[in-house]
Amino acid sequence: MSNNFEQPILPPAVIGIVGGGQLGRMLAVSAMSMGYQVGILDPTPNSPAGQVADFQIVADYQDREALTQLARRSAVLTYEFENVDEAALKAVEAYTQLPQGTELLRVTGNRLAEKQFLVQHGIPVTPFAAVNDEQTLLAAAHKLGTPAILKTVVGGYDGHGQADFDSAEAVSPAARALSAQSCILETRQAFKLEASMMVTRSADGEVVTFPLVENRHHRHILHTTLAPAQVSDAVHRAAKEIAEKIATGLGLRGVLGIEFFVLPDDQLIVNELAPRPHNSGHYTIEACNVSQFEAHIRSICGLPIPAIIQHSPAVMRNLLGADLIQAREALVTHSEWHFHDYGKAQIKDQRKMGHITVLNDNQAAALATLTALKGEH
């Protein structure tokens, strides 16, 4: 599922990144600190990643000519989001290394394919069924029961492209509208908490995992991450075993984010996969010996990846919209904050503008320092 190459890609080789958002920005910063050059493809001039890269090609992600240009200038190509044109990427593999391949995108870019992959590899997931129209929606609801969640098979993030489905006898307008396209109906789980784990795999097949963390959301958007998650050792071990099985099954290169539900009996089920650095892994920049971004660069370039050590408990808080302005003003009174501004041109409501990480052996105390920000409501 991934390209193999005999020699590692060493600095100052060019790493091409498809996508110029905050994940691309932090990948670029990590790569450049290691001596690599970085090129970005993004339609937004002076994108967050483009601001810190050696060059940016301003073009749409589906622009074959622009993607070919980036590939020809790069020793290795990677992507910072999953909705990339697989066919376009396949077309440029003749010009550059694409260690992650396109199978990873095929699996993780389609919720139905992703669930099927997990089931095939013995990974626990919530019961699900394919939906193509209102008739199959009702049939799926009677089969799975309610409450359930209807999600589009492709696209959608941070709560977009999904609708609650509470009763097969009263289909909401939102669910009826969604069911006109390919969807998946999933049984809603009464989970204890949401958690995630980053995992990567080296060129020689060694799987390396990061700590399991707890995620707290607001309006379907990640609000805070507590690292490590305050769960039993058995849960940490189970998450690690699942992550290793997924990474091996995918032939993973780069990093992958695995979102879990921790059920009341401490059983884990996998909710979603993200074939890239993940919002919940930002704490690794300050709290671990190797960040998720460095791990990604090491993996795609064929460098060894050390065992991950988290040297301090941490709390990460997203800055959405005007939170960024409040955080800038509060910096003068919070020396404990590790502040990250993504360099986005416009501040928009519910848009991820930056984040703050606080290191503290006492997570409750770390969390308390972030209450200075009221946050968006």
* Residue pLDDT, tens place only, 245-286: 999 999 999 999 999 999 999 999 999 999 999 999 999 999
Distance, in Å, from the CA atom of 368 to the CA atom of 366, rounded to the nearest integer, reads 5
What pLDDT is recorded for position 159?
A: 62
What pLDDT is recorded for position 4?
A: 45
What pLDDT is recorded for position 134?
A: 87
What pLDDT is recorded for position 165?
A: 85
Domain boundaries, the chain: 14-98, 127-187, 193-372
Helix (H, G, I), strand (E, B) or coil at 129: strand
Q: What is the pLDDT of residues 51-71, one digit of tens each?
A: 999 999 999 998 999 999 999
Strand 148-152's sheet: what is its strand order? 128-131, 183-187, 148-152, 162-165
Q: What is the pLDDT of residues 152-207, one digit of tens each?
A: 998 766 667 888 888 777 677 878 888 888 999 999 999 999 999 999 999 999 99
- Whether a cis peptide bond, with omega within 30° of 0, leads into 147 is yes
The CATH architecture that domain 193-372 belongs to is 2-Layer Sandwich (3.30)
What pLDDT is recorded for position 74?
A: 98
CATH code for 127-187?
Answer: 3.30.1490.20
* Averaged confidence pLDDT in the chain: 93
Taking alpha carbons only, the member of 258, 279, 275, 300 closest to residue 109 is: 275
Would you say 18 and 38 are in contact if contact means Cβ atoms under 8 Å apart?
no
Distance, in Å, from the CA atom of 48 to the CA atom of 346, rounded to the nearest integer, reads 11
What pLDDT is recorded for position 157?
A: 66
Helix (H) or strand (E) holding 285: helix 284-287
Would you say 278 and 198 are in contact if contact means Cβ atoms under 8 Å apart?
yes
Distance, in Å, from the CA atom of 116 to the CA atom of 125, rounded to the nearest integer, reads 10
Taking alpha carbons only, the member of 243, 223, 184 closest to residue 321 is: 223
Name 352's bridge partners: 320
Q: What is the mean pLDDT of residues 324-329?
A: 95
Would you say 358 and 282 are in contact if contact means Cβ atoms under 8 Å apart?
no
Task: Please identify which residue in the block is written with the tokens 């971004």.
Answer: 293
Task: Please identify which residue in the block is written with the tokens 């993973």.
Answer: 252
CATH code for 14-98?
Answer: 3.40.50.20
Distance, in Å, from the CA atom of 313 to the CA atom of 136, rounded to the nearest integer, reads 46
Would you say 114 and 108 are in contact if contact means Cβ atoms under 8 Å apart?
yes
- SS3 of 143-179: HHCCCEEEEECCCCCCCCCEEEECCCCCCCHHHHHHC
What pLDDT is recorded for position 163?
A: 87
Distance, in Å, from the CA atom of 56 to the CA atom of 76, rounded to the nearest integer, reads 15
Q: What is the pLDDT of residues 89-134, one digit of tens each?
A: 999 999 999 999 999 999 999 999 999 999 999 999 999 999 999 8
Would you say 28 and 40 are in contact if contact means Cβ atoms under 8 Å apart?
yes
CB atoms closer than 10 angstroms to residue 311: 10
Angle between helical axes of 233-250 and 111-120 (0-180°, round to 10): 110
What pLDDT is recorded for position 229?
A: 98
